């Protein structure tokens, strides 16, 4: 059975950081350890999964912070930005990370439920976009409706704050190559899949140059009704998960499940 937990970046020891980079470098070309370490230092938390024998199977690095938003009480919103994420390719198809991450998000929301919360991320490939679509009832952008102006303004503000000169107001980011690019054999899309998957067609419309390293900014409102049906239980479990004094949270499924009906995914780098 896989074991899931989150811990603060400050609590990551050298051994775990080396293990994280080794997993990352197996999936991203051009990855540099010094750049990876610098990016990690800018995050606040990581969600990690190990198997019973100990090896690291996947991780997600996140940054929790407040950002100006005129629609929010006190003019602020709480943002959970999910950046570097890798699941060992041998474990794709088991949805290893998504439920644990949703439990983490539920825990973050429970600490300040009166404040607006948003999950913000970059989509470097269609697998990631599909997972994000499946995790929430509504994400932006989506193929069914225009992004509300207040959400578009928030996304643009986050893009400018987090990515500076590499942010494009169209919602795309092209990060420096030394931060790593998803390997071409992983990022590729079978041409015949476009005809049968409307979400894939939408992703390609918004991010046609994803194989060149462009990533699409996406956001989802975060509250108890926001997750999809298959993820709502994970969010609710996270609101009840105890958090230790050093910030560690046990994110293992309280029901003992290790997979769900949604596909696993390799998420974007940032």
What is the tens place of the pLDDT at every residue in 248-260? 999 987 765 544 3
pTM: 0.89
CATH number for domain 3-250, candidates 3.30.450.20, 3.40.630.30, 3.50.50.60, 3.90.1640.10: 3.40.630.30
What is the tens place of the pLDDT at every residue in 163-218? 999 999 999 998 776 555 555 555 555 545 555 678 888 999 999 988 888 999 99
**Average pLDDT in the chain:** 87
pLDDT, residue 270, reads 35
The stretches of 87-225 forming alpha helices (DSSP H) are 98-110, 126-135, 149-163, 184-187, 193-196, 198-206
pLDDT, residue 112, reads 96
All structural domains of the chain with their residue ranges: 3-250
pLDDT, residue 179, reads 55
Task: Determine the Cα–Cα distance for residues 4 and 7; give it in Å rounded to an integer.
Answer: 10
Q: Nearest 5°: CA angle at 178, between 175 and 182?
A: 70
Tokens of 125: 């490939």
Tokens of 219: 């956001």
Task: Determine the Cα–Cα distance for residues 220 and 232; give it in Å rounded to an integer.
Answer: 14
Residue 269 has pLDDT above 90, yes or no: no
pLDDT, residue 258, reads 43
Query: Could you count the other beta carbons within 10 Å of the beta carbon of residue 199?
Result: 15
pLDDT, residue 164, reads 95
pLDDT, residue 175, reads 79
Partners of 265 in the beta sheet? Answer: none
- Give the list of residues 6+ apart from residue 111 with CB closer than 8 angstroms, or none: none
Residue 235 has pLDDT above 50, yes or no: yes
Task: Determine the Cα–Cα distance for residues 20 and 39; give it in Å rounded to an integer.
Answer: 12
């Amino acid at each position: 059975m896989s074991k899931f937990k989150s811990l603060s970046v400050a609590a990551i020891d050298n051994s775990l950081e080396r293990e994280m980079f080794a997993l990352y470098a197996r999936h991203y070309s051009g990855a540099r350890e010094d750049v990876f370490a610098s990016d990690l230092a800018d995050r606040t938390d990581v969600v990690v999964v190990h198997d019973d024998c100990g090896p690291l199977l996947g991780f997600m690095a996140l940054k929790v912070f407040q950002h100006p938003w005129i629609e929010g009480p006190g003019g602020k919103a709480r943002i959970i930005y999910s950046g570097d994420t890798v699941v060992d390719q041998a474990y794709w198809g088991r949805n290893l990370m998504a439920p644990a991450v949703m439990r983490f998000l539920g825990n973050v929301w429970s600490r300040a439920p009166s404040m607006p919360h948003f999950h913000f991320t970059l989509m470097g490939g269609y697998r990631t976009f599909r997972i994000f679509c499946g995790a929430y009832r509504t994400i932006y952008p989506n193929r069914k409706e225009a992004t509300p102006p207040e959400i578009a303004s928030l996304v643009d503000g986050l893009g400018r704050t987090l990515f500076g000169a590499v942010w494009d107001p169209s919602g795309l980011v092209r990060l420096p190559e030394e931060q790593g690019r998803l390997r071409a054999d992983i990022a590729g899309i079978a041409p015949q899949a476009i005809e049968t998957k409307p979400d894939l067609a939408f992703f390609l419309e918004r991010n046609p140059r994803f194989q060149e390293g462009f990533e699409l900014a996406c956001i989802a409102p975060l509250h108890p009704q926001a997750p999809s049906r298959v993820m709502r239980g994970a969010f609710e479990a996270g609101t009840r998960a105890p958090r230790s004094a050093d910030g560690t949270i046990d994110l293992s499924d309280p029901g003992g499940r290790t997979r769900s009906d949604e596909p696993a995914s390799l998420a974007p780098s940032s």
